[in-house]
């Protein structure tokens, strides 16, 4: 059973560009979570999604950030008009229906130049 997959592993964007981060959950997992790890800081929850539904987006910045988990395909975290402060490691996790454990992918390290 493959683990949580994220791509790309590293992403470099210039200020003002868009960043798209992808996450494929573990097989059989229907819950996806996104977390952000800023340099020298801990992880912060961003959003929790189930297929086609956003369940909790209380950690998402109000502007420029959006997330989706379509019926088919990976979950996407989209950051529009990136700024230097968006540089961070973005981690995706998944859990099975009824399960509480969250299993993490390797992360996408976003650098904004």
Partner 1 sequence: GEDVEQSLFLSVREGDSSVINCTYTDSSSTYLYWYKQEPGAGLQLLTYIFSNMDMKQDQRLTVLLNKKDKHLSLRIADTQTGDSAIYFCAELAGNNRKLIWGLGTSLAVNP
Burial (CB count <10 Å: 0-12, 13-18, 19+), residue 67 = buried
Q: Quick one: which of 45, 54, 96, 111 contacts partner 1 (CB under 8 A)?
A: 45
State the nearest-atom distance from the C-beta of 81 to partner 1, in Å. 26
Under a CB-based contact definition with an 8 Å cutoff, are residues 89 and 21 in contact?
no
Length of the chain: 113
**Footprint (CB under 8 A) of partner 1, residues 86-105:** 91, 93, 95, 100-105
In the numeric block, which tokens belong to residue 3?
């683990």
State the nearest-atom distance from the C-beta of 72 to partner 1, in Å. 23
Cα separation, 103 vs 34, whole angstroms: 11
Under rule CB under 8 A, residue 25 binds partner 1: no
Q: Footprint of partner 1 on this chain (CB under 8 A)? A: 4, 31, 33, 35, 41-45, 48, 55-56, 58-59, 91, 93, 95, 100-107
């Amino acid at each position: 059973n493959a683990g949580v997959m994220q791509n790309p592993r590293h992403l470099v964007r210039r200020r003002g560009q868009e960043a798209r981060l992808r996450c494929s959950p573990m097989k059989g997992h229907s819950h996806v979570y996104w977390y952000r790890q800023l340099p020298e800081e801990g992880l912060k929850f961003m959003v929790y999604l189930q297929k086609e539904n956003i369940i909790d987006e209380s950690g998402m910045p109000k502007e420029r950030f959006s997330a989706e988990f379509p019926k088919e395909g990976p979950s996407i975290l989209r950051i529009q008009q990136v700024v230097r402060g968006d540089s961070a490691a973005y981690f995706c996790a998944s859990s099975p229906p009824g399960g509480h454990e969250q299993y993490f992918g390797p992360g996408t390290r976003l650098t904004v130049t």
